[in-house]
Homo-oligomer: A and B are copies of this chain.
Amino acid sequence: MKICLIGAGRIGAVHAIAIASDENANLHSVVDFHQESAEKLANKYNAITLSMDEAFENNEIDAFIIASSTSTHADLIEKCAKVGKPVFCEKPIDLSLDRALACAKAVEESGIVCMLGFNRRFDPHMASLKNKVDANVIGLIQSLIITSHDPEPPSMDYIAGSGGLFHDMMIHDFDMACWILNDTPRSIYVSANAANDDVAKQGDVDTASVIMNMNKGAIVTIINGRQASFGYDQRIEAFGETGMLQVKNVLEDSVILSNSSGIKQTKNQHFFLERYGKAFHNELVHFMESFQSGTQPSVNISDGVIALKIAEAAKESLQSGNSINL
């Protein structure tokens, strides 16, 4: 299977390693507007570089991986739909729900496999919790609490183009909630503010608590923050009829120091590249397995649309101060 990678940045490099580690995948080509980046990444894996047009005309390519900037996602997915080739695209589809809906329609009409990069679904820890939930280990879930704190705020440039906390960061948690519960929300209430003045100036928030009432009855609580001195804070707690399942944070190492100031462990793994390293690998394996076996991947473009709809409602709740029905 020959794969063309669009986007030779940080996430692109992560996908290239995942391809190289997989027995059945081959990095065929790299596309990036910044030719030097494309060449550097391609050379490392004996791949070629292509222009965007060349890539979509190339008959050797079996599938595309899109790891370029958000604003290009919908266009590139539609190009894949046009040439009828499977595509894996980083989330989100687009910051605009309308644009995403149009793109999803194009994908649906084309019938291509289109998998979205909600990587947390493929984290071994999150997936283990989900498996136990599905196996009914704790019975019907009554309450789900998702906690996510980044280690440090992104640059203000990044924030400016991010679509805001709900579209950029909490969108992962919206997807996780729907995935774990096999459900969607009927209402959402948001409380949020900006602890960081620069974030406030961008019109964004960096600290938020959210309650969603799900259609089947569960209550979902999401806690988000852009700054955690102890590293990437990624926890889940599912409370069911007969028990509770939790995903705890993953620490840098398993060393414990006991001395006169107490019992001390290291911080959490720093950020998503460390914490979700295996998830990036596993999601690509799933994508490759899907298009080899001709089955739909477990997460596709409609999941991206749902998460976007929730993010828009979250923004509305923050502005109005009220609970919003979906």
Contact = CB atoms under 8 A, between A and B. Distances in A.
Interface of A: 17, 20-21, 23, 44, 124-125, 128-129, 132, 137-138, 140, 142-143, 145, 149, 187, 189, 191-193, 195, 207-209, 211, 213, 217, 219, 221, 223, 225, 227-230, 233, 239, 241-268, 321-323
Contact of A248 (B217, B228, B254): B254
Nearest to A210: B211
B239 A149 contact: yes
A259 B241 contact: no
B256 A249 contact: no
Nearest to A189: B189
A189 B211 contact: yes
A8 to B, nearest CB: 16
A264 B266 contact: no
A264 B267 contact: no
A145 B233 CA distance: 15
A98 to B, nearest CB: 28
Nearest to A212: B191
Contacts of A192: 219
B255 A125 contact: yes
A259 B247 contact: no
Please state the number of chain copies in the assembly.
4
Closest 3 CB pairs of A and B: A243-B259, A230-B258, A229-B260
Contacts of A145: 145, 223
Contacts of A257: 132, 137-138, 243-245
A209 B143 contact: yes
Contacts of A260: 229-230, 242-243, 267
6 contacts: A129-B255, A189-B191, A189-B211, A209-B211, A249-B254, A263-B265
Contacts of A254: 125, 247-250
Given A193-B217, A209-B211, A242-B229, A263 B267 contact: yes
Contact of A138 (B21, B44, B259, B321): B259
B211 A228 contact: no
A191 B239 CA distance: 15
A189 B323 contact: yes
A19 to B, nearest CB: 12
Contact of A259 (B208, B229, B248): B229
Contacts of A265: 262-264
Contact of A262 (B149, B208, B225, B266): B266
A125 B253 contact: yes
Given A189-B323, A229-B243, A230-B262, A195 B142 contact: yes
Contact of A264 (B213, B264, B323): B264
A195 B255 contact: no
Contacts of A138: 257, 259
A219 B193 CA distance: 9
